[in-house]
Amino acid sequence: MLDLFGTPVLPGATSAESFLSPPEEQALIRAIDRLNLAPFRFQGWVGKRLTHSFGLHYDFDHASLAPTTPMPTWLLPIRDRVAAFAGLVPDALIQALLTRYDPGAGIGWHRDRPHFDHVVGLSLGAPADMRFRRRMGERFERATMPLPPRGIYHLQGVARYEWEHSIAEMAAIRWSITFRSLSPRGRSALSYGAR
Ligand SMILES: O=C(O)CCC(=O)C(=O)O
Ligand SMILES: [Fe+2]
């Protein structure tokens, strides 16, 4: 996320337009819709957005992280390009979370689980804004990062750890593919099978 002078508005948040071509976007949308997407669940609450994980599954009902089906071959070349954008080796992006936001679905204020480190996302379908906020005493500092279709964004450092983010309820369908790397906490949770 850069201002007019190319300075990041939020340290640790970078984005680029036209990362995917329109045919690639359409092929990915079709591939996501072929998956067995399930409503996101959080401690007994069932959300409107539909998700499917590859590589690792974080179970929000039980706050646990476990290996799941490896990324399919159609996703690997995309994962490799996304890793290059983020300056990471491809294998670092161990999880892919595929999400469909139907009209009325969004994502509330959160920071991603501490088990993960880098978050690199692709946007497909309807445009959206990622909103950011950070508490400053009595009020919130706020920032917005546009998420145009076919664009990519990378959250790390301050933007990922100190700021919360959310996406308002959508009026039209948006899909996203977010790739995550593991944090030291995530690595120990996996090796001990603990939280
Ligand atoms: O849909 C997106 O691009 C972001 C979703 C998100 O913040 C998350 O899954 O943690
Ligand atoms: Fe998130």
Encoded tokens for 151 = 């664009």
On the question of pLDDT at 115 being above 90, the answer is yes
Dump the DSSP string for 30-70. Answer: HHHHHS--EEEEETTEEEEEEEEEESEEEETTTTEEEE-SP
With a 6 Å cutoff on the Cβ, whether 149 touches ligand 1 is: no
- Give the pLDDT mean for 31-56: 87
**Coil, helix or strand at residue 47:** strand
Instruction: Using alpha carbons only, give the angle 186, 162, 91 rounded to the nearest 5 degrees.
Output: 35
Q: Nearest ligand to the C-alpha of residue 123?
A: 1
pLDDT band at 188 (very low <50, low <70, confident <90, very high): very high
Torsion angles phi and psi, residue 98, rounded to 5: -105, 130
How far is it, in rounded angstroms, from Cα 6 to Cα 34?
Answer: 39
CA separation for the pair 146, 8 (Å, rounded): 13
Q: How far is the CA of 52 from the centre of ligand 2 (A)?
A: 15
Sequence ranges of the domains in the chain: 13-192
Q: Which atom of ligand 1 is nearest to the CA of 174?
A: 1
Between 4 and 125, name the one with better pLDDT. Answer: 125
34 three-state secondary structure: helix
Give the number of the atom of ligand 1 that is nearest the alpha carbon of residue 49.
Answer: 1
- The pTM of this model reads 0.93
Residue 100 CA to ligand 1 centre (angstroms): 10
Q: How close is the Cα of 113 to the center of ligand 2, in Å?
A: 8
13-192: what CATH class? Answer: mainly beta
192 — pLDDT class (breaks 50, 70, 90): confident
Taking only the tens place, the pLDDT of each residue in 119-178 is: 999 999 999 999 999 999 999 999 999 999 999 999 999 999 999 999 999 999 999 999
What separation in Å is there between the alpha carbon of 30 and the centre of ligand 2? 23
- Predicted local confidence at residue 57, as pLDDT: 92
What number is the average pLDDT over the span 59-72?
90
For 139, the token pair is 């009020």
Please say whether the beta carbons of 155 and 162 come within 8 A: no
The closest residue, in CA terms, to atom 10 on ligand 1 is 112
Q: What are phi and psi of 23, to 5 degrees?
A: -65, -35
User: Phi/psi zone of residue 137: left (φ > 0), alpha (ψ -120 to 50 degrees), beta?
Assistant: left
